[in-house]
A and B are shown apart, each in its own frame.
Chain A
């Protein structure tokens, strides 16, 4: 059935219907939206579907090709899982903004020109912040504002980049841009902010853990993946991305080891996974790009699954901190099992989906001769095992018994997690029948050969051995009820305390300046007051008679002067 329906439209209609409906009808509408959207997407023709002439430019709001289709499928699957996970809550705000958020993500990956892309990019920002605010705690409100400011910063940078780029090239199509022009650099910076480039990443670790349990699932699926899509489209093969990506895989793992809030551990882990993708985009070969986009695909599934598992823990216990949790497997065995599947997938254990995508990027780094990069990536891969593969399930569900005995989460949440877990395993075991045919670039890859499986098993098992050995011998860092400062320290601590200490320094200076300046000024004011004040000589009311006298005197003086 060929359709010409823009892929974002079903979700916008779904959002409107969500406002109008309640109860079971709303649940049905929300679940039907990604299904209907997905069916329409299957029948969509490739090429530029819609074009609009505006101010002399040809806008292409919908352009369909293999790369956008991959993300199109991904966002429909992700949206279905996340919606299923969230349908039990009775919060119209969250449901509606989540639908608009999914629509804007779809709009962004199908946008054929930079102006349409920019509009959807901004809509992503505006809709997603409500998923943070919807938690309605003071921390969430503040984190939401910080998130909004940085995201709008990304939008403004993108707009500036687009203006410069279009002015220089006259081309508004959403295609390869590269780093030859300053516009290109600005656009990359804007995209980089949304996918967590080092030192631009702090909004992610700040805001995502403050969002609602269900909101975090949507958040981890769309914004950053749109940025990965756009980088793949416009900056494939840009050398700086190799090193930026490597840095992204590397630094968050240290923070993840010592972080107490498990959803914040996942946020750090997310930057690490995005780093692998960015590195793949920088390498720029067909295999590396396939690795980057397929890893984005899998990341939505396994990171979504992990955020869902932690969201389930949070929903049932109200806690997410490692120091408060532990022993939950006794009363939440299903959630624990599903969480372990997510953890195995992100750790790239053979037969789970992370294995079949991340290895493409690693292999490309070797093929291109980037040995140092490869060593760093290998280090970061083991790091993933530590913080996401072991720490998350271990501290939530095992470790020391917290005494908490929550029940399993609602059925819809478990079903959503189950769906994600099944996809993780199906893609992991049969990639050539599922994920690989969807990949947009032409490259052969076979993840399952004996060398690769054995070496990967060695890497992970000995990494695990080290973790458990350190735990058993007391070398592992204990969970501390504390926070760790990150780059957001600059504007959460240094800037405010800088301003207040500047106030302390400047306040006395200002008062003495006022005092010093006041003395001559007060004298002047007193002088003026003396003559012009109510009783002043120059402010007195003069009788008409004195006026006549003075006129007479003046005339007399004039007559005398004339005769002389």
Chain B
């Protein structure tokens, strides 16, 4: 099979992936900064239904911690529930 080599994509270059990653981190920092300004009643007025919402960066922290906890716990769950693909011993299982 003679195929012309595939053209290189933007995401194939690890440098570009690194750039995207840094851009995303920057965007996160920006959103957190807007939130802090919001708490100081600059930029916009912030409604708070109960105290935790008023803590600086509450949502950012919750988002980060929740995902970290979720993934950590899910990895532990794997020890409990992961089985080989033919576990149920039914024909066609290994497909």
Contact = CB atoms under 8 A, between A and B. Distances in A.
A258 B50 contact: no
A258 B70 contact: no
Q: What's the interface size class on A, roughly?
A: 35 or more
A464 interface: yes
Contacts of B67: 382-383, 385-386, 463, 466-467, 470
A142 B92 CA distance: 11
Nearest to B88: A492
A477 B74 contact: yes
Contact of B70 (A329, A382, A451): A382
Contact of B24 (A142, A253, A465, A476): A465
Interface string B41-74: 0011111111001000101111111111011011
A470 B68 contact: yes
Given A139-B92, A258-B82, A459-B59, A386 B45 contact: no
Contacts of A472: 21
A142, A382, A449, A458: residue with the most chain B Cβ atoms closer than 10 Å:
A458
A508 to B, nearest CB: 24
Tell me what chain A mostly uses at the interface: helix, strand, loop, or mixed. helix
Interface residues of B, number: 52
A483 B83 contact: yes
Nearest to A251: B77
A484 to B, nearest CB: 4
A484 B31 contact: no
Given A477-B78, A481-B85, 19 more contacts: A138-B92, A139-B90, A139-B92, A255-B81, A257-B71, A258-B78, A330-B6, A330-B9, A382-B62, A383-B67, A383-B70, A450-B43, A450-B46, A451-B46, A459-B60, A480-B82, A483-B87, A484-B83, A486-B81
Contacts of B46: 450-451
Nearest to B77: A254
Given A138-B91, A257-B70, A398-B11, A461 B63 contact: yes
A22 B85 CA distance: 40
B83 A475 contact: no
B34 A454 contact: yes
A465 B88 contact: no
B44 A450 contact: yes
Contacts of B92: 137-139
B4 to A, nearest CB: 13
A330, A450, A461, A483: residue with the most chain B Cβ atoms closer than 10 Å:
A461
Contacts of A25: none
Contact of A461 (B28, B66, B83): B28
6 contacts: A382-B70, A458-B57, A462-B28, A477-B71, A480-B82, A492-B88
Contacts of A486: 81
Contacts of B83: 482-485
B90 A138 contact: yes
B44 A451 contact: yes
B78 A466 contact: no
A458 B59 contact: yes
A483 B85 CA distance: 5
Contacts of A383: 66-67, 70
Given A366-B49, A454-B31, A467-B67, A139 B93 contact: yes
Contact of A258 (B28, B43, B77): B77
Nearest to B12: A401
A406 to B, nearest CB: 14
Nearest to A142: B90
A515 interface: no
A482 B85 contact: yes
Interface string B22-50: 00110110011011001000011111111
B84 interface: yes
Contacts of B57: 458
B47 to A, nearest CB: 5
A451 B58 CA distance: 13
Contacts of B66: 378-379, 382-383, 463
A460 interface: yes
Nearest to A140: B92
B27 A461 contact: yes
A454 B35 contact: yes
Nearest to A497: B89
Contacts of B31: 454, 457-458, 461
Interface in A392-445: 398
B88 A470 contact: no
Contacts of A371: 50
B62 A257 contact: no
Interface string A232-259: 0000000000000000000001110110
Given A378-B66, A458-B31, A476-B71, A484 B81 contact: yes
Interface in A118-140: 137-139
A540 interface: no
Given A465-B24, A470-B68, A482-B84, A455 B50 contact: no
Contact of B53 (A253, A398, A455, A467): A455
Nearest to A365: B49
Interface in A480-532: 480-486, 492-493
Contacts of A73: none
A138 B21 CA distance: 44
Contacts of A485: 81, 83, 87
A367 B47 CA distance: 13
Interface string A328-348: 011000000000000000000
A461 B34 CA distance: 13
Interface in A334-390: 366-367, 371, 378-379, 382-383, 385-386
